[in-house]
Amino acid sequence: MGFQRRGRIGKSETRDQVTLERRLLFREYQLVWNREKCIGCGICVDMCPKEAMLYIPAQFKAGRRVSDRPRIDFDPDKCVLCGECVVSCPMDQALIMKVDGKKFVPVIDVNAFAMVTRKTSL
């Protein structure tokens, strides 16, 4: 990941995954998106309370998909690593949230299940 300022979210990308990481003095938050596991439904994008995710939809022509599969992207400046996207993701292991290397989803584990999402009808 290289050098980054403490507390700031850094973003790194490999062929298989995108990682958002925030290092604090005693804690380290990590959100990993596995490209291969994701099918690109975009539910996480609509759920994100901070509008920190971008949806790149697939293009359809007369009912056929004519582009790459849909995908998502993250804006590290807007993300607060709450884990709402992890909770809403219907695919297993597509989004993983870790704190100090252990599976931990703040919106669930600190009893703060986000009630209000950006698209309230969801």
> Which residues of this protein are in contact with other proteins, per CB under 8 A?
36-37, 39-43, 46, 57-58, 60, 62-65, 69-70, 87-88, 90-92, 103-105, 108-111, 113, 115, 118-122
Closest separation between CB of residue 1 and other proteins, Å?
26
Q: Which is nearer to other proteins, 32 or 41 (CB)?
A: 41
Closest separation between CB of residue 88 and other proteins, Å?
5
Residue 46, Cβ density class (10 Å: 0-12 exposed, 13-18 middle, ≥19 buried) = middle
Q: Which is nearer to other proteins, 1 or 58 (CB)?
A: 58
Closest separation between CB of residue 40 and other proteins, Å?
5
**Hunting for tokens 């604090």 — which residue is that?**
24
34 close to 96: Cβ distance less than 8 angstroms: yes
Q: How far apart are CA 87 and CA 1, in angstroms?
A: 25
Structure tokens at 97: 């949230």
Q: Which is nearer to other proteins, 76 or 84 (CB)?
A: 84
Closest separation between CB of residue 92 and other proteins, Å?
5
Provide the b/e sequence for 2-13 (b: ≥16 CB within 10 Å): eeeeeeebebee
